[in-house]
């Protein structure tokens, strides 16, 4: 039977929910390099917002990506997230001006150990900021239009679902600028596309990957005709996910992420220990009852 909490949620109209989530969104303002909006109830849109700089990833953007997704991880008005880029392309990757400034900072140190400490901490921070997408229990849908280069590839492979427009292209750029990718691409891309030979080719040559190839190899799941149709498609998918039980969705994501880094038995143990609690949730009872009685899907309480 429906619980009292579920009945209270059913009384709320989509408009009242949207007004409530907009109030929550006001506390997400203040980012310099990101735009955060709520285009649908329970759906957040995080947009890279340095269009005049081709959405290149400077220190502020790296930090704000980490902070934004860590914040969204705990917001009960957020159930799914789409990640987009403003302007004419998704992102041209790392801001090389930052690298020039880093060179000046390193030049102030004469000892190699002290230079290494600066670099190690910077790389660790950037790794943690990107991993915030993976840590976030809310599904993240990356919607890529035009160029997605270098650090932007690190970013999207940490997302759960990737889509692109027909003008998109992808490039693991690091080898071409004299470095190895160090914030996630070399670790996540092999798992994303499952073809080690192709990963090696892309990462060792820095060649571009076009959208047809990206879909064929599994980097993206859908290709759209334009940026507008891409964002519309991503929003439709995010809204679909947001309509499901947040208990079910968030535990499903946690389990999928855990399974990527552990063997099958560890994964089975993981979900068993979680579900011995979560199967007692009202979400499971209400959703199962709706299916059994062919009733409309229930409205789920915030989580």
Question: Which residue numbers are catalytic?
Answer: 94, 151, 154, 174, 182
Among all chains, which residue has been given the structure tokens 């968030």? Answer: 250
| Residue among 104, 89, 31 nearest 56 (CA) | 89
Among all chains, which residue has been given the structure tokens 């190690």? Answer: 120
- Cβ atoms of 283 and 247 within 8 Å: the answer is yes
Among all chains, which residue has been given the structure tokens 């149709």? Answer: 229
Q: What is the DSSP track for 203-230?
A: HHH--EE-HHHHHHHTS-SEEESSHHHH
| Residue among 1, 9, 8 nearest 245 (CA) | 9
Q: Using the 8-state DSSP alphabet, how is residue 171 labeled?
A: E
223's enclosing H/E stretch is strand 222-224
């Amino acid at each position: 039977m429906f619980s009292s909490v579920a009945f209270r949620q059913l009384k709320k109209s989509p408009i009242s929910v949207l007004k409530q989530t907009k109030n929550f969104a006001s506390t997400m303002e203040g980012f310099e390099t990101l735009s955060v909006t709520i285009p649908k109830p329970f759906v957040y849109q995080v947009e890279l917002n340095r269009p005049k700089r081709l959405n290149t990833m400077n220190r502020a953007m790296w930090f704000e990506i980490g902070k934004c997704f860590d914040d969204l991880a705990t917001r009960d008005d957020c159930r799914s997230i789409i990640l987009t880029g403003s302007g004419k392309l998704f992102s041209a990757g790392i801001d090389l001006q930052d690298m020039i400034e880093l060179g000046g900072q390193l030049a102030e140190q004469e000892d190699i150990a002290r230079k290494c400490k600066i670099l190690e901490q910077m790389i660790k921070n950037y790794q943690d900021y990107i991993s915030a997408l993976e840590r976030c229990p809310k599904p993240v849908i990356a919607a890529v239009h035009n160029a997605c280069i270098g650090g932007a590839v690190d970013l999207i492979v940490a997302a759960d679902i990737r889509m692109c427009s027909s003008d998109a292209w992808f490039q693991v750029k690091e080898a071409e600028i004299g470095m190895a990718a160090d914030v996630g691409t070399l670790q996540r891309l092999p798992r994303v596309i499952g073809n080690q030979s192709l990963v090696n080719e892309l990462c060792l040559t820095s060649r571009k990957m076009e959208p047809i190839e990206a879909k064929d190899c599994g980097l993206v799941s859908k290709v759209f005709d334009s940026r507008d149709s891409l964002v519309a498609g991503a929003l439709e998918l995010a809204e679909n996910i947001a309509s499901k039980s947040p208990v079910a969705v968030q535990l499903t994501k946690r389990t999928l992420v855990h399974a990527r880094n552990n063997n099958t038995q560890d994964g089975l143990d993981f979900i068993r220990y979680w579900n011995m609690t979560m199967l007692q949730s009202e979400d499971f009872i209400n959703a199962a009852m709706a299916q059994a009685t062919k009733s409309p899907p229930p409205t789920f309480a915030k989580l």
